[in-house]
């Protein structure tokens, strides 16, 4: 995994190869989180029903997962369904769940091939039994993989996650002074994982829509006008290159001497 692997994969002389060559292997984000948005607009532009946008978005998921794994990222988190998305018509929600199940069944072999560990974050218990079964199956089958961790955020809400962590803290019987930021972070669905370094949102909306509220405290945010079903390896590489040009300060002062370390 890493840039040599990427270079062996992308077609020689292609624009993607040029992008890979520009990347600084020492400054890849450990965790990339993506708000996959714009499926409905993609379909509307083609006078198609919204669900066709969701269907087309699966190719983007496949491409993104494989690119991130080949780059050697530690964690990829994709926002697939929010706790607020239940407000949508039942037929759209139903199709999303069917597509998810189909994706998992079809892609399990690819996840294994790339040594990817699959994980779900969100209120999984509230999902339908057949969906839960498929999710657990994929998580169990990939549990011993040691490559990239692929989180799918499903029935996920950032506030719900914080409330769930607070409940866990209270149920543990710990004393108030024992609850530090570090301990609280470990009680979130993403406990033990690095926070996202780069948060990507497709289709131009400048909001976080209740995604990873705690974890994105210092994430670099990258918004592209590209609609999710059009998002490909090239767009991901462009986002990572833009990320590498940012100066992260974490509340401190500019430290050019430290750049690249």
What amino acid positions are annotated as catalytic residues? 37, 85
Query: Taking CB under 6 A as the rule, does residue 95 contact ligand IPE?
Result: no
Q: Is 45 in the site for ligand IPE (CB under 6 A)?
A: no
Site string for Mg ion, 37-56 (x = CB under 5 A): x-------------------
* Token duo for residue 72: 């050697």
Q: Single out the segment in contact with ligand IPE by CB under 6 A; choices: 99-107, 164-172, 184-192, 202-210.
A: 202-210
Quick one: which segment of 34-42, 113-121, 123-131, 159-167 binds ligand IPE (CB under 6 A)?
34-42
Q: Is 253 exposed, middle or buried (0-12, 13-18, 19+ CB in 10 A)?
A: exposed
Decide if residue 229 touches ligand IPE (CB under 6 A). Answer: no
Considering the complex, state which of residue 37 and residue 197 has its C-beta at the smaller distance from Mg ion.
37
**Closer to Mg ion at the Cβ: 77 or 142?**
77
| Least distance between ligand IPE and beta carbon 84 (Å) | 6
The reply on whether position 195 binds Mg ion by CB under 5 A is no
Q: Which is nearer to ligand IPE, 10 or 151 (CB)?
A: 151
- Which residue ranges make up the site for ligand IPE (CB under 6 A)? 35-41, 79-82, 85, 96, 203, 205, 207, 209, 228
- Which residue ranges make up the site for Mg ion (CB under 5 A)? 37
């Amino acid at each position: 995994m890493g840039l040599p692997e990427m270079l062996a994969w992308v077609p020689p002389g292609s624009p993607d190869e040029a992008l890979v060559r520009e990347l600084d292997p020492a400054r890849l984000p450990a965790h990339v989180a993506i708000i996959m948005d714009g499926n409905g607009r993609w379909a509307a532009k083609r006078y198609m029903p919204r669900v066709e946008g969701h269907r087309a978005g699966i190719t983007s998921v496949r491409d993104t997962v494989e690119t991130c794994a080949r780059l050697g990222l530690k964690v990829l988190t994709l926002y697939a369904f929010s706790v607020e998305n239940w407000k949508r018509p039942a037929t759209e929600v139903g199709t999303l769940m069917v597509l998810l199940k189909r994706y998992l069944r079809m892609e399990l072999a690819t996840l294994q091939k790339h040594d990817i560990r699959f994980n779900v974050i969100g209120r999984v218990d509230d999902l339908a039994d057949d969906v839960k079964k498929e999710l657990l199956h994929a998580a169990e089958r990939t549990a011993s993989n040691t490559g990239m961790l692929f989180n799918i955020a499903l029935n996920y809400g950032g506030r719900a996650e914080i409330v769930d962590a607070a409940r866990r803290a209270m149920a543990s019987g710990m004393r108030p002074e024992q609850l530090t930021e570090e301990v609280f972070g470990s009680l979130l669905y993403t406990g033990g994982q690095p926070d996202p370094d780069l948060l990507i949102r497709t289709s131009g909306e400048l909001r976080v829509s209740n995604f990873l509220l705690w974890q994105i405290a210092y994430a670099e945010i990258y918004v592209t006008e590209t609609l999710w079903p059009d998002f490909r390896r090239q767009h991901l590489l462009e986002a990572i290159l833009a990320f590498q040009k940012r100066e992260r300060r974490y509340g401190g002062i500019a430290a050019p001497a430290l750049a690249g370390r």
